[in-house]
């Protein structure tokens, strides 16, 4: 299948890029291997998207998806397995198909960062989770902990506080990366215990997670928890790209103000690029710029 523009990733950045390219009449195909909307779907409450004082991430993404598809964005539910340069443009392979495109926008987002602890993989799905809105129901009336200090961690705590008997939030610093407005909300929740300056050092349990050891200001302490929700950020996952791209020290793709990578006609936007601030609204802005540049070039 051939496209003028092929977008890899169906989160806020990819969908926004598709809105702009489709409005300009470019034949655009978007590849998404999991769920349209990406991680934004998992946000319990979005309170900083212009024009929306409060909306769930899922509902917001449904509106953006509807907007993009109404304009003619073609969506294929496949994951890109290889992206390479050809004489006339790019070739993008999936498990079952091969696509060609004149221009490509990488908007695939990232995968969850883990704590790198012994038995961590063993307990994934057995007490360890990366999605509060997905798995929170399994911990109704129980004790859970959230690790992290950003907006995702705060969202997880708010969601879990409605279900769990007690929620610990463990942050390795004294200050949280989340906005003060968001932090003040969880400080008012009676079943939430905030533990700053602490890191999880050990996981306990046989078949399931039963507790964790934390190092709090140099002192070791055990917490009995039924679930541990990891919200410590993400890492780029770009193994499918068979092109040498300029990246930062953490592996994120470097782009200029036009979302251009170091490869001609290859753009990147959203969480996968090197930047300091990752939000739904900034991903949408990145995608809009990338999409517009595909029109202009």
pLDDT tens digits, one per residue of 145-201? 999 999 889 999 999 999 999 999 999 999 898 878 888 889 999 999 999 999 999
Q: Which of 134, 156, 237, 284 is an active site residue?
A: 134
Report the distance separating Cα 202 and Cα 66, nearest Å: 44
In the chain, % of residues over pLDDT 90: 80
Determine contact, residues 2/23, Cβ cutoff 8 Å: no
135 in catalytic set: yes
> For position 182, what pLDDT does the model report?
83
Summarize pLDDT for 11-20 with one digit per residue, the tens: 999 999 999 9
Lowest mean pLDDT among 213-217, 255-259, 275-279: 275-279
**Alpha helix (H) ranges present in 24-150?**
57-70, 120-123, 132-135
Report the distance separating Cα 28 and Cα 122, nearest Å: 41
Residues whose CB is less than 8 angstroms from the CB of residue 3 and which lie 6 or more positions away in sequence, other chains included? 27, 28, 29, 74, 99, 100, 101, 102
Determine contact, residues 206/122, Cβ cutoff 8 Å: no
Q: Which of 135, 249, 271, 284 is an active site residue?
A: 135
Determine contact, residues 176/155, Cβ cutoff 8 Å: no
Question: b or e along 214-240 (b: 16 or more beta carbons within 10 Å of the residue's beta carbon)?
Answer: beeeeeeeebebbbbbbbbbbebebeb
271 in catalytic set: no
CATH of 2-111+234-296, one of 3.90.1150.10, 3.20.20.70, 4.10.1240.10, 3.50.50.60: 3.50.50.60
Q: Which of 22, 59, 110, 131 is an active site residue?
A: 131
- Going by their DSSP bridges, the two strands 266-268 and 234-236 should be labelled as unpaired
The hierarchical CATH code for the domain 114-230 is: 3.50.50.60
Lowest mean pLDDT among 83-87, 134-138, 147-151: 134-138
CB-based burial label for 57 (10 Å; 0-12, 13-18, 19+) = buried
Q: Which residues pair with 106 in a beta bridge?
A: 8, 268
Q: Return the SS3 of 88.
A: coil
> For position 276, what pLDDT does the model report?
85
Residues of the chain with CATH 3.50.50.60: 2-111+234-296, 114-230
Summarize pLDDT for 41-65 with one digit per residue, the tens: 877 788 889 999 899 989 999 999 9
Report the distance separating Cα 225 and Cα 145, nearest Å: 7
Determine if residue 259 is left, alpha or beta; phi over 0 gives left, psi from -120 to 50 gives alpha, anything else beta: left
> For position 260, what pLDDT does the model report?
98
Determine contact, residues 226/143, Cβ cutoff 8 Å: yes
> For position 9, what pLDDT does the model report?
97
284 in catalytic set: no
């Amino acid at each position: 299948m051939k496209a003028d523009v092929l977008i890899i990733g169906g989160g806020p950045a990819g969908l926004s890029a598709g809105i702009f390219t489709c409005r300009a009449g470019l034949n655009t195909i978007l590849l998404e291997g999991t769920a349209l909307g990406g991680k934004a779907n998992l946000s319990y409450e979005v309170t900083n998207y212009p024009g929306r004082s409060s909306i769930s991430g899922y509902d917001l993404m449904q509106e953006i998806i509807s907007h993009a598809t109404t304009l003619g964005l073609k969506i294929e539910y496949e994951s890109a397995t290889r992206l390479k340069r050809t004489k006339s443009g790019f070739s993008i392979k999936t498990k079952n198909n091969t696509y060609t495109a004149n221009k490509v926008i990488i908007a695939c987002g990232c995968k969850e960062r883990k704590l790198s602890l012994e038995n961590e993989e063993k307990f994934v799905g057995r007490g360890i989770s990366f999605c509060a809105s997905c798995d929170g129901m399994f911990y109704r009336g129980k004790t859970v902990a959230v690790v992290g200090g950003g907006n995702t961690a705060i969202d997880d705590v708010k969601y879990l506080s409605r279900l769990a008997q007690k929620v610990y939030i463990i942050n390795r610093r004294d200050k949280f990366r989340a906005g003060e407005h968001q932090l003040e909300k969880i400080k008012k929740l009676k079943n939430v215990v905030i533990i700053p300056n602490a890191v999880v050092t050990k996981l306990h349990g046989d078949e399931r997670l039963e507790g964790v050891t934390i190092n709090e200001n140099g002192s070791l302490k055990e917490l009995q928890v039924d679930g541990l929700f990891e919200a410590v950020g993400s890492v780029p996952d770009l193994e499918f790209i068979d092109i040498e791209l300029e990246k930062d020290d953490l592996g994120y793709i470097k782009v200029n103000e036009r979302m251009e990578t170091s490869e001609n006609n290859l753009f990147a936007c959203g969480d996968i690029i090197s930047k300091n601030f990752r939000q739904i609204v900034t991903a949408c802005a990145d995608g809009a710029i990338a999409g517009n540049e595909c029109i202009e070039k």
